[in-house]
Amino acid sequence: MTTELSLADLAMLTAGASMWRTAAVPEAGIPALSMADGPMGVAGARIDERDVSMLTPAPVALGASWDAALVEKVGRLVGGEAVRRGVDLMLAPNVNLARSPLAGRAFEYFSEEPLLCGTLGAAWVQGCQASGTGAVAKHLVCNDSETARDSMNAVVDERTLREVYLLPFEMAAEAGCAGMLTAYNKVNGSWCAEAGDIVQAIAKDEWRYPGVFMSDWFGTHSTAGSLLGGLDLEMPGPARFLGARSAAAVRDRAVPLARLHDAAGRVAATARRFAAGKAPPMPEAQATALLAEAAAAGFTMVRNVGAMLPLDPRRFGRIAVIGPNASAPCFQGGTFAKIALKPDAILPLDALRARFGDAVIGYEPGVDPQPKLPRMPVAPARALGDGCAQGMTIDYFDNVAFDGAPVLSETRDTNSLTWFHGVHEAGALQCAAGTRASGTFTPARSGEHVFHVGGTGALRLLLDGVEVYRRDGELAPGDVMGRLKSGDADCVAVPLQEGRAMEVVVELRYTAARCQGLWYGVRGPGGALEMMARALRLAESADAVILVVGETSDASVESKDRPDTRLPAEQVALIEAVCAANPHTVIVTNVGHAFDTPWDHLAQAVLHCWYPGQEFGPALAQVLAGDREPGGRMPVTIACDEGDYPALSLRPDAQGDLHYSDGVRVGYRGLAAKGIAPRHAFGSGFGYATFSLGDAAATPGEEGGWVVSLTVRNTGTRAGAEVVQVYRTVPELTLVAFAKVGLQPGESRTVGIPVAARRLQTWRDGWRNLDGPVELLVGRASDDLPLSVSVTAA
């Protein structure tokens, strides 16, 4: 209850107190809540590589598991990590949809299918909140792309909005999530933070959802508009539009007092619900085992000619490991929710060497593992007593002339720095200021070295005191975030001598803004032709090749979508050359979204690993060796051609509108409606076990639903799991239920899969039953549905 609160206290509760905390009213028993970003773990508020946390598989990898029980355990792990870190609310899960394969944050989405996304999102919520940590589902709604996300207007019809894009949020609400985070974009002309027809009319009034609605960071645009649209909490603090201005709006009769009570009451109820009652974190050994299990559960095998996998060293005595992602894997994407990975995370290459021993005869990357921003392997310019033996010495100054002593110094073993106002200690420098990074670099080879440098202001690069690069001119405050998110760097080539140590200094001068960033790196000599030649010689000398290709974390970022669905051209050339040199090749992909795979027929086996989190290496070695099953099924569709995707381009038109013209026919639905065969269908994939399905039937279920039953038999010699999928055929092919069924060799089981009544309805000015008998197809994938039953909506 908030009736005892003053108008000032009510208003105070509608805005954050700081970057990551809500306001408190201790005398009313309303504590402050601490928040952190997710969903792949607990992101450090400072965006600092030293704030290490457990890194789970990305949502797309969890989506590939099709396993709600497993995802609930992962949510529980993250909730426990939040308890360990003193965090009360996680900004997760992300239940937007992978509408287009170009979406920059597609790796953060469970699937292109709303039912799969909603089911797994709800499971994650329940697991996280079992630890006493609140889950805030994001981003409400249609934040399914990054291009112009701060201004674009998603134009979407009501049926599509209800059946597709709101469904995962509705399921998160039914799971009792703590809150929902409104998106930056507009929907049908209204900012999401002011979208009363969605937040107020649907979520609060229709769903009767009691949780708190908060803005994405700096995502508010008005006072009365936000409050009347149903927003309860503006983040971050200090307030820009709500807070004290909420009280003024009530006094001016622009906002009813009852609306302020509703907003403050939701914030207060959430604070009381999640400030206490915490469960202990998961023990580290148990958590590590779970993360390896979860990674393998999402590995999706789409090709295995001649049962090449599992790899048997008795059959393939000499195994070559090739590819950039074996030594420089992409554990996660590059958003502000990036998790600081533990420094001793086992690389795929090291795990493969440990598992296969002397059978691994060598490794070659074949192409540059860090094509955009290489590392800066330096020793600190001076010792700071922090025990760091490598990395740059970072000095922060409160002036642009670098006069006097720095106000803060630290050693940072990273090639990319970000600091926010009010979070990082240097964020207090809200003035014209400067940052200097310095270290000692010793070239391993003589020749031309390319230095990369980028940042949110004017830049200088000095080698042994000599300026070799300069970019003048500070960015205007409105340009800083775009520069930071793009991560683009400039380059300069300098000839260096092997073994001759030199001082590297990078200087950044900037004006006041809410965040700043500096990034740098160096690439030594050794051209592409030389790397490719070494890789091919190794491939030719081996009995089998494990070829690990994929992305770097800067391939999936906030505020930028991809230009195409292809792997880098040099990686495609490597795939083609290695497969020609050795036909016994296993291609392992490390990509976080649907992507073009016209080369997959060249290899004997293909395994899609997505972004698998910190246990990528051990999980990969275990799956390739046959210690674990590759348990994944496709969470997205891979089309034969980019033009086949129902939605591809994510660029708004001249008016800023992005038309969701694919309607409800997103992903596999659109291809099926047009009779277009995919390269890899939604739901497809297989493990080492084999299964048969038969004897499908349907019987009435609870609350007007149905239960589809069938017999599932493990026909192989290994234990494994099959994902049984049920689709309706009208008005378009649509997933209505699924179950993951684990069986021992030779075991047979009758499985009942509930189909909720809502799954047999469509939106026509209200939820309406589908007309007449509805055919339900049952099988293993959207293009492999051999069984059918007929039901009638109640």
Query: How far is 20 from 40, CA to CA, in rounded Å?
Result: 18
Torsion of CA 520, 524, 527, 531, to 10 degrees: -100
What are the b/e assignments for 508-542, b being 16+ CB within 10 Å? Answer: bbbbebbbbbbbbbbbbbeeeeebbebbbebbeeb
- For the chain, give the number of residues: 794
Strands (E), 533-674: 544-550, 585-590, 605-608, 657-659
Q: What are the structure tokens assigned to 154, written together?
A: 């998603």
3-state secondary structure of 130: helix
3-state secondary structure of 783: coil
Query: How far is 667 from 636, CA to CA, in rounded Å?
Result: 7
**Which of these, 779, 780, 722, 715, lies nearest to 747 by C-alpha position?**
715
Is 784 noted as a catalytic residue in this protein? no
Q: Partners of 560 in the beta sheet?
A: 557
Q: Partners of 212 in the beta sheet?
A: 179
Torsion of CA 392, 393, 399, 403, to 10 degrees: -130
Query: How far is 766 from 769, CA to CA, in rounded Å?
Result: 10
Catalytic residue (one of 9, 88, 216, 600): 216
Omega before residue 236 within 30° of 0, cis: yes
Query: How far is 162 from 173, CA to CA, in rounded Å?
Result: 14
CB of 296 closer than 8 Å to CB of 619: yes
CB of 741 closer than 8 Å to CB of 749: yes
With left for phi above 0 and alpha for psi between -120 and 50, is residue 362 left, alpha or beta? left
**Which of these, 316, 354, 334, lies nearest to 620 by C-alpha position?**
354
Residues annotated as part of the active site: 216
